Structure 1
Amino acid sequence: MSTTPNVPYRLEFSVEVPGTPEQVWQAIATARGMSAWFTPTTMEEREGGSLHFDMGPDMGSDGQVTAWEPPRRLVYEEDWAALMGKEPDALSPLTSEFIVEAQSGGTCVVRVTSSGFGTGAAWESEFWDTMAPGWTPFFDNLRLYLAHFPGQEATHLEATAAHAGDAEALWTAVRDQLGLGPEGAAVDVRGATGTVERVGDRQALVRLTAPVPGMLSVYTWDDGDGKATAGVRAYLFSADAADYVRREQPAWQDWLQNLSVPA
């Protein structure tokens, strides 16, 4: 039996970022830009172009650009049903719209709307409830990218490890063992120095200055079933970043796996 999606879902927020509309457009509407603050992205940069977000091992989201109006408006659709492993007729596409509005003083406001239609299933409302806390922290990355690394290409470092227990206890262990202080504090994170830019709910964002400039996001989340995952995600901006990642990614992986988490 097929179902007809008619239950609307919607998420709206806005963020003020430094830069001209053209610089902001490069960051939000090109593969190179999106990959530098969000997730590794491939995109045909035109209306009707295909789109793919790489979300980690064996995970990704496919879509299509449905409006392309540089430097003001981008709309794309993702295959929400395929992403969630559901029947295609149970869900509409997941539509995201970005509108760039220039402000006085060299900043822009980016207005973001994501919407879709489902059937009202419990997992759908759970998806939308977790979408905002999962997605909006990336826009702090966008702000930091435009402030310090506009137009630059990122090299990615990513590592995660699962532990028994809950995300809150795991976050306390991560924060304490990395020595993450409050926003504005200088920090040495396993030999990389920088400044804590944001501390959120079980997550922190560090602007790295040495040995490789970039951004480091550290976070934990609940997996359910009495388990939680700790992760790091870095966007690095220098010619020797790839060598650094080859050396440091396995070391981060070991560090995360060997975290000592109080029972």
Structure 2
Amino acid sequence: MPREFEIRREVALPAAPEQVWAAISTPDGLAGWFMPMDVRADTTVEVDRAPERLKCRAGTDAFEYVIEGRDGTTVLRFVHSGVLGDEWDDEFEGMTALGWSMYLHSLGQYLRYFAGRAALYAEVDAAADAAAWPRIRAALDVAAVGDPVRLELGARVLEGEIDYLTERYVGLRTADALVRFHERSAIGLPVAVGHHHFGPGESAEALTEAWRTWLSAVVRKDQA
């Protein structure tokens, strides 16, 4: 039977309340750490009290952000509530909770390193293959936050360090990008990579194709 759920998070962010508000409520801000979207066009906004509180609803899901300035930084309290339908189980709720932990960490990284910079976003799914995640982890060859990473992505070279690492997520930060790898097999979805690019001279189409090629080569390695 359908049942209600609620996910709560609280994070300290290295930015003023106005900067946090721009990051959670504008398309340009959301592209820097979550995904491109227009909150006021894509959801039903129930509370819009800048720069203190935003609450919006999409279907049966509600998202609330409460922003509090504190000693030169900002505390963000976030709540995602809704209803799990018959097609979803506890695993979906658990993955959603883990996903929000990763996204809110990304918000902090965006505000610390890239605040105010325009973001271009690309997202690509890997092939639906049980070996995808282990092979991606092996290709990244990292063991801890702070480990250096160097990836050849077509004609590009991505060099940076791991800024987020759990069983199901790997986050890479470079001088001009946040890259997030998502392992989603527990909810029946393929591994995905999301790339937030903050530098010039890039297009979403080219970046998407580059990641598609890289993922295909890594996931299908040794299967020929």
Say if 1:76 and 1:96, in contact at 8 Å, map to a contact too: yes
Give 2:210's aligned residue. Answer: 251
- Give 4+ residue runs of structure 1 displaced > 6 Å after superposition: none
Deviation per residue, 1:167-214 (Å, 9 max, x gap)? xx53221122133342112211222111111111222111112xxx11
1:204 equivalent to 2:170? Answer yes
* Structure 2 counterpart of 1:221, one-letter code: R
Deviation per residue, 1:103-161 (Å, 9 max, x gap)? 22x32111011222467x46265543332123321111101000011122210122212
Tell me, in whole angstroms, the C-alpha distance in 2 between the residues paired with 1:101 and 1:248.
36
Say if 2:68 and 2:76, in contact at 8 Å, map to a contact too: yes
Give 1:155's aligned residue. Answer: 120
CA RMSD of aligned residues (A): 2.5
1:77 equivalent among 57, 66, 74:
57
1:66 equivalent among 46, 60, 75:
46
Say if 2:126 and 2:132, in contact at 8 Å, map to a contact too: no
Give 2:147's aligned residue. Answer: 185
Percent identity reads 26
Q: Which moved more, 1:231-240 or 1:127-136?
A: 127-136
1:214 equivalent to 2:214? Answer no
- Provide the secondary structure at the position in 2 that maps to 1:192: strand
- Provide the secondary structure at the position in 2 that maps to 1:238: coil
Say if 2:69 and 2:75, in contact at 8 Å, map to a contact too: yes
Tell me, in whole angstroms, the C-alpha distance in 2 between the residues paired with 1:37 and 1:261.
30
Tell me, in whole angstroms, the C-alpha distance in 2 between the residues paired with 1:136 and 1:224.
17
2:66 equivalent among 57, 74, 99:
99
1:25–1:199 Cα change, 3 Å: same
Tell me, in whole angstroms, the C-alpha distance in 1 between the residues paired with 2:164 and 2:69.
25
1:110 equivalent among 66, 71, 76:
76
The 5 A counterparts of 1:216-255 are 216-222=179-185, 229-242=190-203, 245-255=204-214
1:30 equivalent to 2:26? Answer yes
- Provide the secondary structure at the position in 1 that maps to 2:190: strand
Which structure has the larger Rg? 1
- Provide the secondary structure at the position in 1 that maps to 2:88: helix
Tell me, in whole angstroms, the C-alpha distance in 2 between the residues paired with 1:197 and 1:74.
28
Tell me, in whole angstroms, the C-alpha distance in 2 between the residues paired with 1:118 and 1:203.
23
Question: Any gaps of 5 or more consecutive residues in structure 2?
Answer: none
1:125–1:224 Cα change, 3 Å: closer
TM superposition score normalised by structure 1: 0.74
Number of aligned pairs?
218
Question: How far is 1:11 from its partner?
Answer: 1.3
- Provide the secondary structure at the position in 1 that maps to 2:24: helix
- Provide the secondary structure at the position in 2 that maps to 1:196: strand
* Structure 2 counterpart of 1:28, one-letter code: I
Give 1:55's aligned residue. Answer: none
Say if 2:91 and 2:187, in contact at 8 Å, map to a contact too: no
Give 1:20's aligned residue. Answer: 16
Question: How far is 1:219 from its partner?
Answer: 2.5
- Provide the secondary structure at the position in 2 that maps to 1:229: coil
Tell me, in whole angstroms, the C-alpha distance in 1 between the residues paired with 2:7 and 2:205.
37
